[in-house]
């Protein structure tokens, strides 16, 4: 009988480190990172002070979307190793005290998945309804106006069934029909497979895309692109629609309750869902709250709001103010970078990123209410790599070039060692070139330099572990200021309250902030942030300076 165990909440206080397996460490000289390579490098992550890893997909796949197109949910793609390699990885991670979360790409499969091969073979086979199929309109056009995030219609004509099938991404990523109970059960069985192997949880890819509107209603247009990031939104018509019907349907929540019930059979597991939607914060609150049957759903929702280009204090204040007003008991996972967007150093720091800003960004990420997620290489301050058109691999970038160069610039190999070929990533030519700008930022050089960004991250994460106000506390935002973002975190344990004030100057000019007496710097060397001094009940912050103080 299944054991119903409450979650002990490691994920609430923990720091997650995201690994993109293709680009972490190549051990078999094929130019592609692999699971044994990750196992070999887990010491780096443990030493950094992370609590868990999230592995981007390593399952069998035709790799059209580099693993986000799965053709066998229960096996490792040979390019990454074997199931035994995965077991070894999990065992090593656990021995280092690291939890292992794996990516589950459940909304769609690869077109080579046996389910789709069968589904497309006729209109009457047992899996005929396992994907989202629809007849053409009487003029031959697709049934509605839904768009693919990677460009063009979300419908692809199939010359065998003489019907359209839906895909939110590439045409080779057909969308599973989660309205069919057999699909839900098959997916849950595959998810259980990895729980039985001892994983500690999941990052759920596109966790609000599982269900579509049964009536296939068209989305309304906006009349203009959405959002603030012109690089993505103006060039991609997807941002011109309000996505009322192609995702985030009420039935999605019912499935997430089932998924959560499954996880709750395995003690101490957790899942973070990627929720990409028009109002991400509101969806985060919804998806980490209780579902339609009053049952829990996601533990955490992955937040996109810090993945844009804006970083000024006014923007951040408005963001966190809305976050605190909508989130309730919900729990975000804050990322500053990932494998889908330009690297933090370049996105926030421009062509010549200021190290003080990178430290400030990390200090903010580690002191917010929520779970921080570091993307591999951010601890080194890697800038976005400049990948030449002829080296591009990402189909999204190849389609949208040059207005949007795709996601290869954040996926280039990790630089481990300055003097070795390909910066220590592996002996063979890597699938994407190592950026020359990354070599001087290699891990071995930063390990040897006490004032490096890597040393800063390491100190910050280790210090954070002892601050219960940061791990579990409330967050109170202070008044808005054009340069300064300030908030307080506080938490009471056994009658003792810890209060931490976090004051960050998100500008290239000095700033002052009123600071009542009594607060003292919370860590030696002010965590390594650009200096701040207290004068006459005012804090004087250097450009990109910060101060974390306790009372
Ligand atoms: C992943 C992407 C992927 C897409 C389709 C995402 O949100 O993070 O890398 O291309 O889902 O699976």
Please give the distance, rounded to the nearest whole angstrom, from the Cα atom of residue 17 to the centre of ligand 1.
17
Q: In this model, does residue 215 exceed pLDDT 50?
A: yes
Distances (CA, A) of 169 to 64, 120, 330: 11, 18, 28
Looking at the CA of residue 338, tell me the nearest atom of ligand 1.
8
Mean pLDDT value across residues 293-299: 97
Q: What percent of the chain has pLDDT over 90?
A: 86
Looking at the CA of residue 340, tell me the nearest atom of ligand 1.
9
- Please give the Cα distance from 293 to 281 (Å, whole number): 22
User: In a 3-state reduction of DSSP, which class is residue 204?
Assistant: strand
Q: Are 343 and 377 in contact (CB under 8 A)?
A: yes
User: What b/e readout covers 104-122, taking b as 16+ CB neighbours within 10 angstroms?
Assistant: bbbbbbbbbbebbeebbee
Residue nearest (by alpha carbon) to ligand 1 atom 5: 68
Q: In this model, does residue 240 exceed pLDDT 60?
A: yes
Q: In this model, does residue 234 exceed pLDDT 80?
A: no
Dump the DSSP string for 288-353.
TSB-TTS-B--SEEEE-TTSSS---HHHHHHHHHHHHHH-TT--EEEES--TTS--HHHHHHTTS-
- Please give the Cα distance from 488 to 486 (Å, whole number): 7
Q: In this model, does residue 1 exceed pLDDT 50?
A: no
Mean pLDDT value across residues 81-102: 98
Nearby residues of 162 by Cβ (< 8 Å), 6 or more positions away: none
Residue nearest (by alpha carbon) to ligand 1 atom 1: 205
Q: In this model, does residue 355 exceed pLDDT 80?
A: yes
From the number of C-beta atoms within 10 Å of its C-beta (0-12, 13-18, 19+), residue 479 rates as exposed
Compute the radius of gyration of the chain from its Cα atoms: 23
Looking at the CA of residue 276, tell me the nearest atom of ligand 1.
7
- Please give the Cα distance from 319 to 315 (Å, whole number): 6
Distances (CA, A) of 245 to 81, 106, 238, 347: 39, 19, 13, 31
Dump the DSSP string for 386-436.
---GGG---HHHHHHTTTS--SGGG-SPP---TTSGGGGT-SSPPSSPPPG
Angle between helices 280-287 and 250-263 (to 10 degrees): 50
When the pLDDT of each residue in the chain is averaged and rounded to a whole number, the result is 94
Mean pLDDT value across residues 463-469: 95
Q: Give the pocket of ligand 1 (CB within 6 Å).
A: 65, 68, 105, 169, 205-206, 274, 339-340
- Please give the Cα distance from 95 to 385 (Å, whole number): 34
Pick the CATH number of 16-111+202-252+272-464 from 1.10.1060.10, 3.20.20.80, 1.10.10.10, 3.40.50.300: 3.20.20.80
- Please give the Cα distance from 375 to 53 (Å, whole number): 10
Mean pLDDT value across residues 69-82: 98
Looking at the CA of residue 68, tell me the nearest atom of ligand 1.
12
Out of 65, 205, 274, 379, the active site residue is: 205
Mean pLDDT value across residues 6-15: 77
Q: In this model, does residue 231 exceed pLDDT 60?
A: no
Looking at the CA of residue 65, tell me the nearest atom of ligand 1.
10
Please give the distance, rounded to the nearest whole angstrom, from the Cα atom of residue 339 to the centre of ligand 1.
9
Out of 265, 278, 354, 444, the active site residue is: 265
Please give the distance, rounded to the nearest whole angstrom, from the Cα atom of residue 86 to the centre of ligand 1.
22
Mean pLDDT value across residues 359-368: 98
pLDDT band at 6 (very low <50, low <70, confident <90, very high): very low
Which of 54, 69, 169, 400 should be mutated for ligand 1, with most atoms under 8 A from CB? 169
Which of 54, 61, 62, 68 should be mutated for ligand 1, with most atoms under 8 A from CB? 68
Q: In this model, does residue 287 exceed pLDDT 90?
A: yes
For the question of residue 384 being annotated catalytic, the response is no
For the question of residue 466 being annotated catalytic, the response is no
Looking at the CA of residue 69, tell me the nearest atom of ligand 1.
12
User: In a 3-state reduction of DSSP, which class is residue 163?
Assistant: strand
Looking at the CA of residue 396, tell me the nearest atom of ligand 1.
10
Q: Are 505 and 538 in contact (CB under 8 A)?
A: no
Please give the distance, rounded to the nearest whole angstrom, from the Cα atom of residue 263 to the centre of ligand 1.
22
User: What b/e readout covers 506-527, taking b as 16+ CB neighbours within 10 angstroms?
Assistant: bbeeebbbebeeebeebbeebb
Mean pLDDT value across residues 376-399: 94
Please give the distance, rounded to the nearest whole angstrom, from the Cα atom of residue 68 to the centre of ligand 1.
6
Please give the distance, rounded to the nearest whole angstrom, from the Cα atom of residue 102 to the centre of ligand 1.
14
Which of 206, 275, 341 should be mutated for ligand 1, with most atoms under 8 A from CB? 206
Q: What pLDDT was estimated at residue 2?
A: 33
Q: What pLDDT was estimated at residue 403?
A: 82
Residue nearest (by alpha carbon) to ligand 1 atom 9: 340
pLDDT in tens, 399-435: 888 888 889 999 999 999 999 999 999 999 999 999 9
- Please give the Cα distance from 144 to 428 (Å, whole number): 47
Identify each DSSP E strand in 1-117 by its residue range.
16-19, 52-55, 59-60, 72-76, 99-104
Please give the distance, rounded to the nearest whole angstrom, from the Cα atom of residue 380 to the centre of ligand 1.
24
Q: What pLDDT was estimated at residue 232?
A: 52
- Please give the Cα distance from 472 to 459 (Å, whole number): 20
The structural domains of the chain, with segments of one domain joined by +, span 16-111+202-252+272-464, 474-550
Mean pLDDT value across residues 160-186: 98
Q: In this model, does residue 345 exceed pLDDT 50?
A: yes
Q: What pLDDT was estimated at residue 317?
A: 98
Tokens found for residue 301: 């929702």
Nearby residues of 101 by Cβ (< 8 Å), 6 or more positions away: 16, 52, 53, 54, 55, 199, 200, 201, 202, 203, 270, 271, 272
We find that the CATH architecture of domain 474-550 is: Sandwich (2.60)
- Please give the Cα distance from 20 to 3 (Å, whole number): 33
Q: In this model, does residue 152 exceed pLDDT 60?
A: yes
Mean pLDDT value across residues 96-116: 98
Residue nearest (by alpha carbon) to ligand 1 atom 12: 68
Which of 166, 202, 205 should be mutated for ligand 1, with most atoms under 8 A from CB? 205
Please give the distance, rounded to the nearest whole angstrom, from the Cα atom of residue 497 to the centre of ligand 1.
41
Mean pLDDT value across residues 206-219: 98
Please give the distance, rounded to the nearest whole angstrom, from the Cα atom of residue 112 to the centre of ligand 1.
18
Q: In this model, does residue 443 exceed pLDDT 60?
A: yes
Q: What pLDDT was estimated at residue 8?
A: 54
Tokens found for residue 57: 């997909």
Q: In this model, does residue 233 exceed pLDDT 90?
A: no
pLDDT band at 236 (very low <50, low <70, confident <90, very high): confident
Tokens found for residue 451: 């004032």
Smallest CA-to-CA distance from 338 within 453, 507, 203 is with 203
Q: In this model, does residue 97 exceed pLDDT 80?
A: yes
- Please give the Cα distance from 12 to 331 (Å, whole number): 8
pLDDT band at 224 (very low <50, low <70, confident <90, very high): confident
Same fold for the domain at 16-111+202-252+272-464 and the one at 474-550? no
- Please give the Cα distance from 414 to 138 (Å, whole number): 52
Mean pLDDT value across residues 505-512: 97
How far apart, in Å, do the first and last CA atoms of the chain sit? Answer: 49
């Amino acid at each position: 009988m299944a054991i119903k165990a409450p979650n002990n909440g490691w994920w609430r206080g923990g720091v997650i480190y995201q690994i993109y397996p293709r680009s972490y460490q190549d051990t078999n000289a094929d130019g592609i990172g692999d699971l044994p390579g990750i196992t070999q490098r887990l010491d780096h992550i443990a030493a950094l002070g992370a609590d868990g890893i999230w592995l981007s997909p390593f399952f069998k796949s035709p790799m059209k979307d580099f693993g986000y197109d799965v053709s066998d949910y229960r096996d490792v793609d040979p390019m990454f190793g074997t199931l035994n390699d995965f077991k070894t990885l999990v065992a090593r991670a656990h021995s280092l005290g690291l939890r292992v979360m794996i990516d589950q790409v459940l909304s769609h499969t690869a077109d080579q998945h046996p389910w789709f091969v069968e589904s497309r073979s006729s209109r009457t086979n047992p899996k005929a309804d396992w994907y989202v199929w629809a007849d053409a309109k009487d003029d031959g056009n697709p049934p509605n106006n839904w768009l693919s995030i990677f460009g063009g219609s979300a419908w692809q004509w199939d010359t065998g069934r003489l019907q359209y099938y839906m895909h939110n991404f590439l045409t080779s990523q057909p969308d599973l029909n989660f309205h069919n109970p057999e699909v839900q059960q098959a997916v849950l069985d595959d998810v259980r497979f990895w729980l039985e192997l001892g994983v500690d949880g999941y990052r759920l890819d596109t966790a609000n895309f599982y269900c579509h509107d049964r009536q296939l209603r068209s989305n309304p247009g906006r009349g203009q692109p959405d959002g603030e990031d012109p690089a993505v939104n103006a060039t991609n018509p997807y941002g011109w629609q309000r996505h009322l019907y192609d995702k985030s349907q009420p039935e999605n929540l019912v499935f997430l309750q089932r998924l959560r019930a499954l996880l709750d059979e395995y003690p101490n597991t957790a899942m973070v869902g990627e929720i990409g939607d028009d109002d991400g914060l509101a969806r985060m609150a919804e998806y980490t709250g209780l579902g339609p049957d009053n049952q829990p759903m996601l533990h955490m929702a992955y937040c996109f709001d810090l993945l844009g280009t804006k970083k000024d204090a006014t923007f951040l204040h408005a963001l966190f103010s809305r976050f605190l007003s909508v989130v309730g008991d919900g729990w975000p996972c804050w990322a500053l970078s990932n494998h889908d967007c330009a690297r933090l150093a370049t996105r926030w720091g421009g062509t010549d990123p200021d190290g003080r800003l990178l430290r400030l960004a990390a200090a903010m990420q580690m002191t917010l209410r929520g779970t921080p997620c570091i993307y591999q290489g951010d601890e080194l301050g890697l800038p976005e790599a400049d990948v030449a058109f002829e080296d591009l691999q990402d189909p999204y970038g190849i389609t949208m070039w040059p207005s949007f160069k795709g996601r290869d610039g954040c996926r280039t190999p990790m630089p481990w060692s300055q003097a070795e070929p390909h910066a220590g990533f592996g002996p063979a030519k890597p699938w994407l070139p190592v950026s020359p700008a990354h070599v001087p930022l290699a891990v071995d050089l930063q390990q040897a330099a006490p004032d490096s960004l890597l040393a800063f991250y390491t100190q910050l994460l280790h210090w954070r572990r002892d601050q219960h106000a940061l791990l579990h506390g409330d967050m109170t935002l202070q008044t808005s200021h054009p340069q300064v973002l300030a908030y307080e975190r506080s938490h009471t344990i056994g009658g003792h309250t810890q209060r931490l004030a976090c004051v960050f100057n998100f500008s290239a000019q000095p700033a002052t902030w009123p600071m009542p007496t009594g607060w003292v710097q919370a860590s030696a060397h002010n965590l390594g942030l650009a200096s701040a001094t207290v004068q006459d009940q005012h804090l004087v912050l250097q450009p990109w300076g910060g101060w974390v103080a306790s009372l």
